[in-house]
């Protein structure tokens, strides 16, 4: 599976940096400048992970996160913000963000955040499938099945 990642940030240098790092890890990456473009991209095709900035002109990251989780709940969202706070971290998690990182983030952090989000998504989907098939809450085998690099 080729992991599809959407990078949403109004700063070109951040978009290009994340793009280079993730394509170097063999991910399929698209970049957009704002929330409206992010929602349009998601309408066109599904993404496994969205790396989302909070402070952007127009629709802010929290509004984008809420829209993504309402319309594409299986999409893992990682918030990456230059303006971290306990309040926004709590709100992001409440709205369904998988992770919350403070800028600046290094290349390894970007790759790890994307990989962790994809692994959690795969594990959750497999666990749901296993639970439905077996009528149980056991997902241990499914969790062991997914290890290694996601991209």
CATH 3.40.50.2300 fits 4-119, yes or no: yes
Is the pLDDT at 144 greater than 70, yes or no? Answer: no
What was the pLDDT predicted at 110?
94
Residue range 33-59: average pLDDT? 96
pTM > 0.85: yes or no:
no
Q: DSSP secondary structure string, 59-112?
A: S-HHHHHHHHHHH-TTSEEEEEESS--HHHHHHHHHHT-SEEEESS--HHHHHH
DSSP class of 1: -
pLDDT value for 107: 93
Quick: pLDDT tens for 35-47.
Answer: 999 999 999 999 9
Angle formed at CA 122 by CA 114 and CA 93, multiple of 5 degrees: 60
Domain ranges of the chain: 4-119
């Amino acid at each position: 599976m080729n992991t599809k990642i959407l990078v949403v940030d109004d700063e070109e240098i951040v978009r290009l940096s994340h793009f280079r790092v993730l394509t170097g890890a063999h991910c399929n990456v698209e970049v957009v400048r704002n929330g409206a473009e992010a929602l349009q991209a998601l309408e066109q095709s599904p993404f496994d992970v969205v790396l989302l900035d909070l402070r952007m002109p127009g629709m802010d990251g929290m509004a984008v996160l809420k829209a993504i989780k309402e319309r594409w709940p299986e999409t893992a969202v990682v918030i990456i913000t230059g303006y971290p706070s306990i309040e926004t971290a709590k709100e992001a998690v409440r709205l369904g963000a998988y992770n919350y990182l403070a800028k600046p983030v290094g290349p390894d952090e970007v790759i790890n955040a994307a990989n962790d989000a994809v692994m959690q998504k795969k594990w959750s989907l497999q666990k749901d499938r296993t639970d439905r098939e077996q009528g149980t809450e056991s997902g241990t085998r499914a969790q062991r099945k997914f290890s290694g690099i996601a991209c």
